[in-house]
Amino acid sequence: MIVVSIANQKGGEGKTTTSLNLAWGLARRGKKTLLIDIDPQANSTGIFLNPEGLEKSMHNIFQSKAKIREVMVKTEVENLNIAPSRLTLAEAETIAAIVDAPYILRDALADLEKEMDFCVIDCPPSLSIFTINALVASNYVIIPLQAEKFSVDGILGLQQTITSIKKRINPSLEIMGALVTQLKPQTLLTKTIIPVLTKYFRIFDNSISDGVAVGESHLARKSVYEYNKSSRQAQEYEGFIEEFLNELQK
């Protein structure tokens, strides 16, 4: 099982959209895929389920050290399961003081190693104990971000956290690259910022342009492919997934 965290401590960068469409796209390609929603806001969960109606969620993983298979739910999308979140997950941040806190998610995933092809983790917009758990459990990190100054300003903190986890806990962790989202290609700011970003991370050749299809797909509780497969954003996410899979072959 290949585990990928979609992480950026800044909100509004496209983490949930990227998590959803990457997981959906992998499942559509016949890959047994698990989407883990580790954000107390539960936006990924809300696409498939009513978070407040859940009996078990990621809260049980962190508070009771349950196994992922105990909380995961099969979605209506073939090959796609979700380990859902809900607002009560925020209460579990108190575990940060526990010695083995960074390893809870990794341990909870262990018995699914041979059952799933991919696990995609939608991280919260913070460098919290939840994001740290995701990075400890992951093989790769993908960083969605906008070509804006404030997005660049927050990169160093994330980069330092990833470097520290790689050095001290998870030496196999790799940054696969940054995915530029909500791209406005003709602006001077974009042309200025993109070269700056390449100093920090590899930038995926594919980017996701600014447009309404993504936001409308969330309202429709669908992937961008299901909502409008001919939209530019659907085609761009398809290109990104192909690039992601090709990177794994290198």
Cβ atoms of residues 28 and 163 within 8 Å? no
The pLDDT score that the predictor gives to residue 189 is 57
Query: pLDDT over 70 for what percent of the chain?
Result: 93
Strands 80-83, 73-74: pairing kind: antiparallel
The whole-number average pLDDT for the span 128-149 is 90
CATH superfamily name and code, 2-210? P-loop containing nucleotide triphosphate hydrolases (3.40.50.300)
Burial of 93 (0-12, 13-18, 19+ CB in 10 A): middle
Say what the pTM is. 0.92
How do residues 74-117 score in pLDDT, each as one tens digit?
999 999 999 999 888 888 877 766 778 899 999 999 989 889 99
Residues in the chain: 250
Strands 118-122, 80-83: pairing kind: unpaired
